Amino acid sequence: MRVLGIEGTAWCASAALYDAETDTVLIESDPYEPDSGGIHPREAAEHMSEAIPAVVDRVLTAAEERHGPDAVDAVAFSRGPGLGPCLRIVGTAARSLAGTLGVPLVGVNHMVAHLEIGRHRSGFDNPVCLNASGANAHLLGYHDGRYRVLGETMDAGVGNAIDKFTRHVGWSHPGGPKVEAAAAEFATAASGAGSEGEKAGSEEEGPESTPGADLLDLPYVVKGMDFSFSGISSAANDAADEGVPVEEICFSLQEHVFAMLTEVSERALSLTGADELVLGGGVAQNDRLREMLAAMCEARGAAFHAPEPRFLRDNAGMIAVLGAKMAAAGDTVAVAESAVDPNFRPDQVPVTWRTGESV
């Protein structure tokens, strides 16, 4: 089976072809990059309307060159969650393509796709999944036909919380990679200072991974397996206003936010008895987050997997892969029933594809 996937929930206009027989994925993406500030829904939708036809065309052309006119067996699209104006453009494109190609339509939940791509790439059977993306942050575990939300942010998504700080200090969107770079710079400098201290016979010790680095006192809010980021974004902004060096804030912001995510992930593994963790979402591209989760999993004898970056940030590859599993399970949708849903939660999705898992 070969599935054309289309993604466009917020910033990334993307199309992909997944070939289940060879387990290969071709992805073509075109990101929306705001001139200033964060993602503006109207501008993002304008980007989708220009970029979706072009990325779809590139993928379809490549597919037809390789496989002839019947290259596509189904069209899968992101049905939500996401920005309504963007989702509507993607939904319209997917419906008309499915009609033109004469193939079934598959409506995919974007957050379940972030999870399933990790399960697919790792070969894990029944992992807990930490989705650390821009607009969302939650832990999912499978039980009785659904992915259950074991814990989630009580306010902002993790990437949005980081981006809120970077907007405050005037950095362009997306802020996450810039925070990662600045935090690494601070850690390297602090670690150099730490080793000089050691050479000079200092007995003081900093955090294990970064000798010499002290953490700023920022809000750390975890309640069971839920967590909150709004306080830490505001505190980071205040620290910048008070003149604390921005690299130092980036370092502490990352350490706090990722420690919160690591703590709740460990609690979810412990509660469910699972011994596998997969990571998904754009923030999962961060080396420090992966390092902390990998260390936690190693300490408790659990396996850990984060897919390669092209499958972590928003991408149509994950939509096509889950679309293929759903299509193989007969989980397609009639055009009349295929309305998008900006608030589509992962636990609303009946998991139809895990019983007979072959595509």
For residue 69, what are the contacts with CB-CB under 8 A and spacing of at least 6?
A: none
User: CA torsion sign, 147 to 21 to 71 to 316?
Assistant: positive
Q: Cβ of residue 317: shortest distance to ligand ATP, in angstroms?
A: 12
Task: Name which position in 281, 307, 317, 323 contacts ligand ATP (CB under 6 A).
Answer: 281
Judged by CB under 6 A, the residue of 180, 248, 276, 331 near ligand ATP is 180
Handedness of CA 85, 166, 224, 130 (dihedral sign): positive
Q: Would you give the binding string for ligand ATP spanning residues 44-83, x where CB under 6 A is met?
A: --------------------------------------x-
Give least dist CB 281 to ligand ATP, A. Answer: 4
Q: Is 67 annotated in some ligand binding site?
A: no
DSSP assignment of 25-52 equals: EEEEEEE---SSSS--HHHHHHHHHHHH
Q: Is 29 in the site for ligand ATP (CB under 6 A)?
A: no
11 is an interface residue for ligand ATP by CB under 6 A: yes
> Could you tell me how many residues of this chain bind ligand ATP (CB under 6 A)?
26
**Residues sharing a CB contact under 8 Å with residue 189, sequence separation 6 or more, in sequence order:** 247
Nearer to ligand ATP, 56 or 284 (CB): 284
Query: Which position among 29, 109, 133, 228 is part of the footprint of ligand ATP (CB under 6 A)?
Result: 133
163 sits near ligand ATP (criterion: CB under 6 A): yes
Nearest approach, Cβ of 20 to ligand ATP (angstroms)? 24
Of the ranges 141-149, 153-161, 210-218, 341-349, which one interacts with ligand ATP (CB under 6 A)? Answer: 153-161
Contact 44, 85 (CB under 8 A): yes
How far apart CA 243 and CA 253 sit, in angstroms, is 15
Q: In the beta sheet, which residues pair with residue 131?
A: 138, 280
16 binds ligand ATP (CB under 6 A): no
- Angle of helix 287-299 relative to helix 176-199, nearest 10 degrees, comes to 70
* Residue linked to tokens 């370092």: 251
**How many CA atoms are closer than 13 Å to the CA of 213, on its beta-carbon side?**
24
Interaction between residue 104 and ligand ATP (CB under 6 A): no
Residues that bind ligand ATP (CB under 6 A): 9-11, 82, 110, 133-136, 157, 159-160, 162-163, 174-177, 180, 281-283, 285-286, 313-314
